[in-house]
Amino acid sequence: MKFNRFSKLLALIVISQLVHNKTFAQSNPISNFFPEINILTSNGPAEGYFFMGSKGTTGVGASQYISIIDNYGTPVFFRKTNSATASMRLLNDGRIAYMHGVPRKLIFLDSMLEISEMLSVQGYKINPHDWDVSTTGNVILMGQSSRVVDMTQFVENGNPEAEALDLIVQEFDNNSNLLFTWNSAEHFEITDANENSPYVDFAEKQLDYVHANGICYDSDSSFLVSCRHMDEITKVDRRTGDIIWRLGGKKNQFQFTNDDIGFSHQHSIRSLENGNILLFDNGNLHIPQLSSAIEYKIDEQNKTATLINRYYRNPAVYSNHQGTTQRVFNGNTIINWGPYWPSFTEFHPDGTIAAEWDYTEHSFTPRIEKYKWQAKVFETNLDSIDFGNWESDTLIQSVWLKNNTINNLDINKVETRTGYFNVHNELPIVILPNDSVELKIWFSPESSEIGYFNDVITISSDSETQRIARQIKVTGHKEENIAPSATILTESTDVILSSSIQIKFTEPVKSEDGYELDFSSVDPFVVFKKNNSDGEDVPFNASISSDKTVITIYPETNLEKSSIYYLTLNGGLSDYSGNQLIPFETVISTVVTGISESFKSKSKIRIFPNPASSKVIIQSRLNYYSLKLYNSVGTLLRYNEFREREHNEIDVSELRNGVYLFVIEWDGEKEIKKIVIR
């Protein structure tokens, strides 16, 4: 359907009133309505911004919103809204689109973040779960129709006047002209739905047998649709409406390879650039019920679906409804867990976590996607500044801000993450229409003991209903000669069997060869072995935090119970001033739960004092046990066998100060106890 000029203008006025709520209290700053984001992990996520629109709020006083948020949780665009948003996305032409309003419509924002167009299905109720835009600007939407069906023809106890809910798919060109309509009633049977689903009962009055929740363009002539209640992904020819193939469900045409469980009640189908498909597997009918993102390579000729990767969180998350996934431009994969904790996880290609956020105490979003973006409402002549080497005086550089609107623009807030960069200008700064002003940015790291600094300056125009901001990356250096050091980032050297292990540095580190560390380059610097430095290699993946101060090690399988592991870093790491890392090595022991095995109420062994200086005393209720003493690098220093039940003394006066492990074994059992000698 194509709007004439009058009807389109009227529609824009209506939707503008819908989105720009004028009834909000006029005394609260917009920052009061931002989600309080808890960044659980930040290990070098993909560049860009998260596009998020709220479907529901959970916090007291929280507002519905659409937003664009950076990797540090800072909004660069935030707008309070009256109603829920089903999805939000950046289009190839720079526009932003999102499903919004009552009733839902697809809303388009232009480069000035103003509503330029809206679109809905023609003649049917819209299905707001998903939508897609082609490379040529065509739009594909989902809708819903209903019809009366005599279900006694198909099942016992069927309702003779059941209401079947059919999927409608409509495509529009870039002038909003309707190109075709596709109706599932012409291609699916109601009994294609999975009667084992808790959401399907063929005896009910209403039968939502498809429950489509994802759609995407697959090629110039086809689309993919996710049919949740059928456990099926369907490929449809847009030219004829014919089904090309069916993956999963009762009418599955494919042989699954490298995958024993398939997918269940899925969401969020997407076609990838490499020809594979990506979807969110809710896993409602899996045993156990676990959710994941899965990628399949589809061989249409031989009808095989080969599992390429399955991304689980550890510990796992189960989203019984909602949930989406996206493959980011750098190869990372984002999983939105719907209303569940955590809100979303971004994975590196090797399965390590790049970023993880939680804001479930404020709101939840039905879809999260990431794109590279900058606001055009006002612009800066520089996107980054390198201040170079600081010596003694504050360094200052100028940036020009240009207002691209026809109205005055107030710059009334500037935010940084550190105290080493800021602006000299007094706020607010008023920029006249199509005019520019100079912003002076300073750098002064005199109070810091490290030599490398990076930050992001967020320059905002805030009102009571929205924020529009630009960001400038800033870096700087100063001379320092303090070598960085590392420690294991746990309360003790005891870790649980399925634990990741973290190494913390006193300042950011890099390769001595000058390159930045990330998940793909940090693994060779880590040595992880069983028992000691000569032990068996432990397979792992590793990532490094965004600020380059923490390496996280993810063992590929659970560590063994009551065992010792050796951990060290190879040479070749330094700080950003070129000071080499102080050598680091340690041993860790594993426990079954989060409680150390070194002291249990039912323990048959007690070792004291701890810390010790000259001797330790061993008390036991055992007739026989053996004792092994290891140093911090896993070297066996002493082996003893004892047959006395009362107590035994061990001379430790010749040992150097440090951490040692006593391994006590008897009758096939083992206890590990950590002792500090000083």
pLDDT per position as a tens digit, 162-196: 999 999 999 999 999 999 999 999 999 999 999 99
**pTM given for the model:** 0.83
CA-based nearest residue to 131, from 57, 53, 50:
53
Token pair 């810091």 is at which residue?
Answer: 448
Q: Name which CATH class applies to 378-478.
A: mainly beta
Dihedral of CA atoms 386, 389, 395, 397 in degrees, nearest 10, equals -20
**Residue 261 DSSP symbol:** S
Q: Tell me, what DSSP letter sits at residue 114?
A: -
Q: Find, among 633, 632, 506, the residue nearest to 573 by Cα.
A: 506
- Report the distance separating Cα 466 and Cα 649, nearest Å: 71
Topology at the third CATH level for domain 605-677 = Immunoglobulin-like (2.60.40)
The dihedral of CA 359, 363, 369, 371: what is its sign? negative
What pLDDT score does 489 carry? 79
Entry field: residues in the chain = 678
Q: Where are the domains of the chain?
A: 378-478, 486-591, 605-677
Confidence at residue 591, expressed as pLDDT on a 0 to 100 scale:
67
The reported pLDDT for the residue numbered 635 is 65
SS (H, E, C) 543-610: EECCCCCEEEEEECCCCCCCCEEEEEECCCEEECCCCECCCCEEEEEEECCCCCCCCCCCCCEEEECC
Count CA atoms closer than 13 A to 1's CA, side-chain side: 14
Look up residue 543 and give its two tokens: 């990532």
Query: How much is the pLDDT for 592?
Result: 54
CB 143 within 8 A of CB 170: yes
Q: Are 271 and 216 in contact (CB under 8 A)?
A: yes
- Residue for token pair 């290699």: 537
Q: What pLDDT shows up at residue 616?
A: 82
User: For strand 206-207 and strand 162-172, is the pairing parallel, antiparallel, or unpaired?
Assistant: parallel
Which segments in the chain show pLDDT lower than 70?
A: 1-27, 490-494, 591-604, 621, 632-635, 644-647, 678
Could you give the CA distance from residue 116 to residue 108 in angstroms, rounded to a whole number?
A: 6
CATH architecture of the domain with residue range 486-591: Sandwich (2.60)
The confidence score (pLDDT) of residue 655 equals: 82
Q: Are 68 and 77 in contact (CB under 8 A)?
A: yes
- For residue 21, the model assigns a pLDDT of 34
493-530 pLDDT, tens per residue?
567 777 789 999 999 999 999 899 999 999 999 999 99
| 291-328 b/e (C-beta count within 10 Å ≥ 16 → b) | bbbbbbbbeeeeeebbbbbbbbbeeebbbeebbbbbbb
Q: Which of 32, 30, 29, 35 is closest to 50 using CA atoms?
A: 35
Domains 378-478 and 486-591 share a fold: yes
Residue 8 pLDDT: 39
Pick from 602, 589, 606: which is nearest to 492 by CA? 589
Torsion of CA 514, 518, 521, 527, to 10 degrees: 110
List the strands of the sheet with 353-358, edge to edge. 38-42, 353-358, 344-347, 333-336, 324-327
